[in-house]
A and B are shown apart, each in its own frame.
Chain A
């Protein structure tokens, strides 16, 4: 307390993130903090008073942050908000993170750059699910300076024993995460105890108030004295000069320094540091966005590191990493992503899920999958050897991010180190395509998709599929047909007609269809697939781009057509379990398209099918589908 740092007024603001369980009082705390420190612009105070009045409430400090109408109506903060705030000469930016679990990605967005965190815990309720989740995230994004605010102590009558017991529980929790809180501040944000003003109701407490604790947050340590890492962002060719640009993540460069360029290890010297409207530069340090020329004029790629020969990053093709998973669906072994690390992108596949964190008690458990928004340790197989530094809080080292094929960020991966090579149990190395679905669609002029035709035997599925295939092919569409009989003649020749075999038949057809669709093809599947469960399985396997088409032909018509003589054979008792005769057919309730073949010519129906398909695979419909 005696050594409060007093940085120069021109120092950058210190970002502080405020996290904690929903309703433990984060927004109220921030409102109170700004009010007590006289940091509110006039307009804001008037707005809060006005808003509170409109809702018939006494002044509600959390309204300050819930600045969107929709949020106030729902009573939760939707997105992180940043609020500048000053203590003495020191600038802070407060990042408010939402407590609602599904808004995790907003919290990370706000919290990832913070120097310190205030973890707000309702002293009365103790640590809850989001308390544990947020604490876990603080660890994974590398925030080490954690102030715990034990809020709402007025409910505990400011009682030392009760409050310290609550603190002990939180201490135990954080110890499991190897987080050593800087300080516990017993406080009431609503009443203003120990926020900016020392509470008279807790004379027993000798520690800092919240503002005193914030003032002691150390200024960010300089990265300039670490070994150089300069990830190449781009290479420009301006006026016959080749210029390599990027931001120095750590270390420094001087004209004349020798550097190693990327994984191939070419050597070069920094020939010049280029700039516009600044004094000529001969050196630059961490944090600066620079432009340099190299001698000899080697041509790096985006993503290559420039680094000193004596201090090389690690090099590996299998990497162990922690993971915070942001998708709403689970993650499985075998899934492929791009791993972005600084400006580099590497093709990776999840080779193993080593453990998953159980949030109830923060223990690491073996698991088959990483649950939605879960935490885990996994092994990534990289398509080629890459350079990386293990994650180091306070630097940009090892800050990996997983990106899916739609360029969506789906997880954060603080890289741990080189993975042992494992033979046996987990040694799957499926490779993901480096070509994105979008690139393929652009090249072909249409997207891929699976059009799953179901209907009774003799309904006309194969005939229609072939006719539509012809029409689509003539329009330049890359199309193929998976027909039930054809499959059974080859890929599925080992299968009979038991329930289990029929289901396996559907599974194989769907798996093949998916592979073809991912390669950009349009796949028409003609398969009786008589049960709702069959088709649901197919839909799950194929995923996005699955369209169910019902060939709706009355059984009498099918039986009359009987092109393969099967109905006759079934009626004669020569075939058992024949769909429509002695096995059920469950018609789809809501197919994407229903084609009635009895009343129309097969030409008309095929034309209708072909039009439906070509509409569904048009590129310009992609964005709309993405929204829905």
Chain B
């Protein structure tokens, strides 16, 4: 088994644990590269199908290419798609810096969906190497009432035994990609030939390395126009993946505040 085989096997194990222990369960599908890998891994785990709904929390500000991709692959992959919208920015905590405040709309939209469908588990495609706060996460991350992440009081997690607390008003965020790195994602995409939104590939010397809302996501300088070229670029790159995501950089603790409140 090579490293991708090991990552794949571990992610499948995690998804099967979630499917067994957390009902009802849903998976977040942000239409980005990581969440497409996640859908792919679910189909591996469940032999070609995704036996729970996928959720798109729609800020209404995604790129048109992303909506087109969503509609096309919902059908192709035979997904049960749940759509949720987000409250206007005026309803969000005004003490957050502007881009974080805008991103926090998604937190509110997600919270509403979790409540509406009374979800016990939500599978999300975050990775430790994306952002320092995400590095603190557990594979199974219990959220208390109000969906708060209690970063200072996380359960122990070892020997592949995951916390599955059962209390009303709680849910568990499940992170099957936590140990993957950005380059692993791309190598897996290459190996498995997983379709992606083409915004990830360079046009006129720029490409998106990470996809969020149109107004708070910027492209990076790049000439990588194929998966192989992206991998080659990443092997030499030293800038961080989320450099183009404005809310990560506004203040030292903005992203952590977002995450404690339930952001991904």
A12→B163 contact, CB < 8 A: no
Cβ-closest chain A residue relative to B45:
A289
Which stretch (B23-31, B52-60, B107-115, B236-244) binds chain A? B236-244
Instruction: Indicate if A141 sits at the interface (CB-CB under 8 A).
Output: yes
Complex Cα spacing A334 to B46, Å: 41
A233→B16 contact, CB < 8 A: yes
Instruction: Indicate if B206 sits at the interface (CB-CB under 8 A).
Output: no
Instruction: Indicate if A473 sits at the interface (CB-CB under 8 A).
Output: no
A41 to chain B: closest CB distance in Å? 5
Which stretch (A272-280, A315-323, A530-538, A602-610) binds chain B? A272-280
B165→A112 contact, CB < 8 A: no
> For residues 164 through 195 of chain B, which have their beta carbon under 8 Å from a beta carbon of chain A?
164-170, 179, 181, 192
B16 to chain A: closest CB distance in Å? 5
Cβ-closest chain A residue relative to B167:
A623
Instruction: Indicate if B214 sits at the interface (CB-CB under 8 A).
Output: no
Complex Cα spacing A15 to B135, Å: 15
A81→B169 contact, CB < 8 A: no
Query: What are the residues of chain B within 8 A of A278 when measuring CB–CB?
Result: 44
Option from A78, A112, A275 in Cβ contact (under 8 Å) with B44: A275
B49→A238 contact, CB < 8 A: yes
B43→A42 contact, CB < 8 A: no
Provided the pairs A233-B17, A234-B16, A626-B144 are in contact, do residues A141 and B151 lie with their beta carbons within 8 angstroms?
no
B47→A276 contact, CB < 8 A: yes
Query: What are the residues of chain A within 8 A of B158 when measuring CB–CB?
Result: 108-109, 111-113, 141, 401, 412
B159→A69 contact, CB < 8 A: no
Cβ-closest chain A residue relative to B2:
A10
Complex Cα spacing A275 to B144, Å: 36
Query: What are the residues of chain B within 8 A of A43 when measuring CB–CB?
Result: 239-240, 243
Cβ-closest chain B residue relative to A624:
B145
Option from B156, B161, B256 in Cβ contact (under 8 Å) with A340: B161
Complex Cα spacing A243 to B12, Å: 15
A79→B145 contact, CB < 8 A: no
Query: What are the residues of chain A within 8 A of B44 when measuring CB–CB?
Result: 275-278
A109→B156 contact, CB < 8 A: yes
Query: What are the residues of chain A within 8 A of B170 when measuring CB–CB?
Result: 623, 626
> For residues 131 through 158 of chain B, which have their beta carbon under 8 Å from a beta carbon of chain A?
132-133, 135-136, 138, 144-145, 150-152, 154-158
Instruction: Indicate if B204 sits at the interface (CB-CB under 8 A).
Output: no
Complex Cα spacing A243 to B47, Å: 10
Cβ-closest chain A residue relative to B43:
A276
B166→A438 contact, CB < 8 A: yes
Complex Cα spacing A564 to B239, Å: 83
B167→A277 contact, CB < 8 A: no
B189 to chain A: closest CB distance in Å? 13
Complex Cα spacing A69 to B252, Å: 7
Cβ-closest chain A residue relative to B158:
A112
B115 to chain A: closest CB distance in Å? 12
Query: What are the residues of chain A within 8 A of B136 when measuring CB–CB?
Result: 67-68, 78-81
A133 to chain B: closest CB distance in Å? 15
A277→B43 contact, CB < 8 A: yes
Residue-wise interface mask of B (1-44) relative to A, using a CB-CB cutoff of 8 A (1 in contact, 0 not): 11111111110110011011000000000000000000010011
Cβ-closest chain A residue relative to B6:
A12
Instruction: Indicate if A285 sits at the interface (CB-CB under 8 A).
Output: yes
Provided the pairs A43-B239, A68-B133 are in contact, do residues A79 and B16 lie with their beta carbons within 8 angstroms?
no
Instruction: Indicate if A221 sits at the interface (CB-CB under 8 A).
Output: no
A60 to chain B: closest CB distance in Å? 15
Cβ-closest chain B residue relative to A291:
B47
Residue-wise interface mask of A (79-116) relative to B, using a CB-CB cutoff of 8 A (1 in contact, 0 not): 11111100000010000000000000110110111000
Which stretch (A190-198, A357-365, A402-410) binds chain B? A402-410
Range for the number of chain A residues in contact with chain B: 35 or more
| Residue of B44, B128, B136 contacting most chain A CB atoms (<10 Å) | B136
Complex Cα spacing A233 to B15, Å: 11
Provided the pairs A112-B159, A276-B43 are in contact, do residues A41 and B238 lie with their beta carbons within 8 angstroms?
yes
Provided the pairs A84-B181, A234-B16, A276-B44 are in contact, do residues A70 and B152 lie with their beta carbons within 8 angstroms?
yes
Instruction: Indicate if B48 sits at the interface (CB-CB under 8 A).
Output: yes
Instruction: Indicate if A24 sits at the interface (CB-CB under 8 A).
Output: no
B169→A623 contact, CB < 8 A: yes
A245 to chain B: closest CB distance in Å? 6
| Residue of A277, A289, A399, A436 contacting most chain B CB atoms (<10 Å) | A289
B155 to chain A: closest CB distance in Å? 6
A406→B165 contact, CB < 8 A: yes
A289→B48 contact, CB < 8 A: no
B20→A234 contact, CB < 8 A: yes
B3→A10 contact, CB < 8 A: yes
A372 to chain B: closest CB distance in Å? 14
Complex Cα spacing A406 to B155, Å: 12
B132→A289 contact, CB < 8 A: no
Instruction: Indicate if A541 sits at the interface (CB-CB under 8 A).
Output: no
Provided the pairs A81-B136, A247-B13 are in contact, do residues A238 and B47 lie with their beta carbons within 8 angstroms?
yes
Cβ-closest chain A residue relative to B20:
A234
Complex Cα spacing A233 to B45, Å: 12
Instruction: Indicate if B129 sits at the interface (CB-CB under 8 A).
Output: yes
Query: What are the residues of chain B within 8 A of A243 when measuring CB–CB?
Result: 47
Cβ-closest chain A residue relative to B159:
A399
Cβ-closest chain B residue relative to A406:
B165
Option from B128, B167, B192, B238 in Cβ contact (under 8 Å) with A622: B167
Query: What are the residues of chain A within 8 A of B13 when measuring CB–CB?
Result: 233, 247, 289
Complex Cα spacing A387 to B47, Å: 29
Instruction: Indicate if A620 sits at the interface (CB-CB under 8 A).
Output: yes
| Residue of A288, A340, A396 contacting most chain B CB atoms (<10 Å) | A288
A42→B47 contact, CB < 8 A: no
Query: What are the residues of chain A within 8 A of B221 when measuring CB–CB?
Result: none
Instruction: Indicate if A326 sits at the interface (CB-CB under 8 A).
Output: yes
Option from A51, A113, A408, A438 in Cβ contact (under 8 Å) with B252: A51
Instruction: Indicate if A558 sits at the interface (CB-CB under 8 A).
Output: no
Instruction: Indicate if B215 sits at the interface (CB-CB under 8 A).
Output: no
| Residue of B7, B159, B164, B256 contacting most chain A CB atoms (<10 Å) | B159
Instruction: Indicate if B253 sits at the interface (CB-CB under 8 A).
Output: yes
> For residues 272 through 299 of chain A, which have their beta carbon under 8 Å from a beta carbon of chain B?
274-278, 285, 287-289, 291
Residue-wise interface mask of A (586-628) relative to B, using a CB-CB cutoff of 8 A (1 in contact, 0 not): 0000000000000000000000000000000001101110110
| Residue of A41, A68, A84, A624 contacting most chain B CB atoms (<10 Å) | A68
Complex Cα spacing A576 to B12, Å: 73
Query: What are the residues of chain A within 8 A of B20 when measuring CB–CB?
Result: 233-234, 302
B131 to chain A: closest CB distance in Å? 9
A369 to chain B: closest CB distance in Å? 21
Cβ-closest chain B residue relative to A80:
B136
Query: What are the residues of chain A within 8 A of B10 when measuring CB–CB?
Result: 289
A628 to chain B: closest CB distance in Å? 10
Query: What are the residues of chain B within 8 A of A291 when measuring CB–CB?
Result: 47
Instruction: Indicate if A200 sits at the interface (CB-CB under 8 A).
Output: no
Provided the pairs A82-B128, A407-B164, A623-B167 are in contact, do residues A289 and B239 lie with their beta carbons within 8 angstroms?
no
A436→B166 contact, CB < 8 A: yes
A620→B154 contact, CB < 8 A: no
| Residue of B13, B163, B168 contacting most chain A CB atoms (<10 Å) | B168
Cβ-closest chain A residue relative to B19:
A234
A65 to chain B: closest CB distance in Å? 9
Minimum-distance CB pairs A-B, first 3: A67-B132, A112-B158, A105-B156
Q: Can you sample 29 A-B contacts with CB below 8 Å?
A: A10-B3, A12-B7, A13-B3, A68-B136, A69-B256, A70-B152, A78-B136, A82-B128, A82-B179, A106-B154, A109-B154, A109-B156, A112-B158, A112-B159, A234-B20, A238-B46, A247-B13, A276-B47, A276-B48, A285-B1, A287-B1, A289-B8, A289-B45, A407-B164, A407-B165, A409-B155, A412-B158, A438-B166, A623-B169
Known contacts A105-B154, A627-B145; 18 further A-B pairs (Cβ under 8 A): A13-B3, A42-B238, A67-B133, A68-B253, A69-B252, A81-B136, A105-B155, A105-B156, A112-B158, A233-B20, A274-B47, A276-B48, A278-B44, A288-B5, A409-B156, A438-B166, A622-B168, A623-B169
